[in-house]
């Protein structure tokens, strides 16, 4: 009885392998993108404001960095305009979302390798606790996210130091 069970498992395994061998992933990059390296702050660092974020990395012609602070980033191929999909005033305004709208939502576009944050919302729920924040850097071109690369850090500001 044990040999028959093993044979059945082996046969099922072979059928699954043969059936799945024709499957392939497409559109998914399983290689880690190391084209950007965050220099400061260190991951999980305790910081004070103003906070200077620095990184290294290259941009292709027409690309820019987009830094999302305490915000979800764009999905690959998604546009900056999609961020305003629930803001009828912005959608009715030519050129929106622009730099002012984006920064008001914690999103900054730059070709530089540094960004200084003077203000962060106090996200701590308990007075005196560590106030956790994150930022994520992606690349965009013509207002659309380029590739799947994303580089992020979490850091802490004491709740008494953020505004």
Q: Write the pLDDT tens digit of every residue in 51-88.
A: 999 999 999 999 999 999 999 999 999 999 999 999 99
Helix (H, G, I), strand (E, B) or coil at 9: helix
Here the tokens at position 149 are 């690369």
> Residue 44 forms beta bridges with which residues?
none
Residue 99 and residue 110: Cα distance in Å, rounded? 10
Confidence bin at 1 (pLDDT 50/70/90) = low
What domains are defined for the chain?
Answer: 29-161 (2.60.40.10)
Confidence bin at 18 (pLDDT 50/70/90) = very low
Tokens 């130091």: give the residue. Answer: 161
More confident residue, 122 or 147: 147
């Amino acid at each position: 009885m044990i040999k028959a069970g093993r044979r059945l498992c082996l046969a099922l395994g072979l059928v699954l392998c043969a059936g799945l061998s024709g499957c392939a992933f497409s559109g998914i990059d399983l290689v880690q993108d190391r084209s950007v390296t965050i220099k400061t702050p260190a991951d999980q660092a305790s910081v004070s404001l103003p906070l200077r974020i620095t990184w290294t990395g290259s941009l292709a012609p027409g690309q820019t960095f987009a830094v999302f602070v305490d915000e979800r980033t764009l999905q690959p191929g998604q546009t900056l305009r999609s961020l305003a999909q629930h803001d009828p005033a912005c959608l009715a305004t030519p050129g929106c979302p622009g730099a002012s709208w984006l920064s008001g939502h914690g999103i900054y576009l730059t070709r530089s390798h540094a960004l200084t944050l003077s203000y962060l919302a106090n996200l701590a729920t308990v007075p005196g606790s560590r106030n956790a924040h994150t930022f994520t850097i992606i690349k965009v071109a013509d207002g659309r996210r380029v590739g799947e690369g994303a580089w992020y850090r979490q850091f802490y500001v004491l709740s008494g130091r953020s505004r």
